């Protein structure tokens, strides 16, 4: 005869164990959604970000993160910091970053973010101009080195005259590109 030992947990201990397991599962799911969203090219949602969300064609209604989205109607969603109270009564719906991750990960929702603000656009234009100037400098230097290589005279003894001419041109300017 085999005796089976039965362990009985008290209800408070069982509730605490269940709550811990659920918290662990939620953390794993948030991490999985974040990895998927970064793989799709979505930036991590930050407090203050705004998303404009509607359902995909043919889907009448869909809910994510406590917000219901309808077909052919864009809903503005504001990402707020964790712990802040959510105000869902207005035109702009509010979600926490984890809720925004859920919205971004849902393939049945079309998500659009607004364009850059004017100050961000100015900073990006300045960065582009600096990159264009660096590219022009590098292109001019490459052309100069190419011309030095092409203009090298063949010594007739099989020595790499073109490589020596290019190396001499590099030493003249210190360009190591």
* 26, 100: one domain: yes
Counting the structural domains of the chain, the total is: 2
Tokens 């925004």, residue located: 100
* 26, 53: one domain: yes
Cα–Cα distance for residue pair 36/31, rounded to 1 Å: 9
* 68, 154: one domain: no
pLDDT at 12: 92
Instruction: Give domain status of residue 50, yes or no.
Output: yes
* 46, 124: one domain: no
Q: What range defines the domain where residue 148 resides?
A: 118-173
Cα–Cα distance for residue pair 56/43, rounded to 1 Å: 21
Range from 44-53, 54-63, 79-88, 127-136 carrying the lowest mean pLDDT: 79-88
* 149, 62: one domain: no
Cα–Cα distance for residue pair 135/127, rounded to 1 Å: 12
| Model confidence pLDDT, tens digit, residues 94-133 | 999 999 999 998 888 888 876 656 777 788 889 999 999 9
Residue 66 corresponds to which tokens in the numbers above? 């406590």
pLDDT at 137: 92
Which of 68, 97, 112 is the endpoint of a domain? 112
pLDDT at 107: 87
* 165, 145: one domain: yes
Contacts made by residues 118-126, CB under 8 angstroms, sequence distance 24+: none
* 16, 77: one domain: yes
* 73, 148: one domain: no
Instruction: Give domain status of residue 1, yes or no.
Output: no
Instruction: Give domain status of residue 2, yes or no.
Output: no
Cα–Cα distance for residue pair 49/120, rounded to 1 Å: 14
CB 37 within 8 A of CB 101: yes
Cα–Cα distance for residue pair 64/93, rounded to 1 Å: 11
| Res. 166: pLDDT tops 80 | no
Range from 5-9, 24-28, 57-61, 75-79 carrying the lowest mean pLDDT: 5-9
* 158, 135: one domain: yes
* 79, 128: one domain: no
Cα–Cα distance for residue pair 111/107, rounded to 1 Å: 9
Instruction: Give domain status of residue 35, yes or no.
Output: yes
Instruction: Give domain status of residue 3, yes or no.
Output: no
* 168, 89: one domain: no
Instruction: Give domain status of residue 85, yes or no.
Output: yes
* 154, 101: one domain: no
| Model confidence pLDDT, tens digit, residues 64-81 | 888 888 888 888 899 999
Burial label for 73, CB within 10 Å (0-12, 13-18, 19+), is exposed
């Amino acid at each position: 005869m085999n005796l089976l030992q039965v362990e009985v947990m008290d209800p408070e201990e069982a509730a605490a164990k269940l709550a811990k397991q659920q918290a662990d599962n939620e953390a794993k799911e948030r991490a999985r959604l974040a990895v998927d969203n970064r793989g799709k090219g979505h930036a991590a949602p930050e407090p203050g970000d705004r998303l404009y969300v509607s359902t995909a064609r043919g889907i009448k209604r869909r809910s994510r993160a406590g917000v219901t989205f309808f077909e052919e109607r864009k809903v503005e969603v504001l990402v707020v910091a964790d712990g802040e109270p959510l105000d869902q009564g207005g035109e702009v719906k509010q979600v926490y970053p984890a809720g925004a991750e859920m919205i971004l990960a849902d393939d049945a929702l079309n998500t659009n973010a607004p364009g850059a603000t004017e100050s961000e656009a100015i900073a990006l234009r300045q960065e582009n101009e600096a990159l264009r100037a660096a590219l022009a400098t590098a292109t001019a230097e490459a052309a100069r080195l190419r011309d030095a290589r092409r203009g090298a005279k063949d010594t007739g003894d099989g020595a790499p005259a073109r490589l020596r001419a290019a190396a001499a041109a590099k030493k003249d300017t210190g360009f190591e590109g």
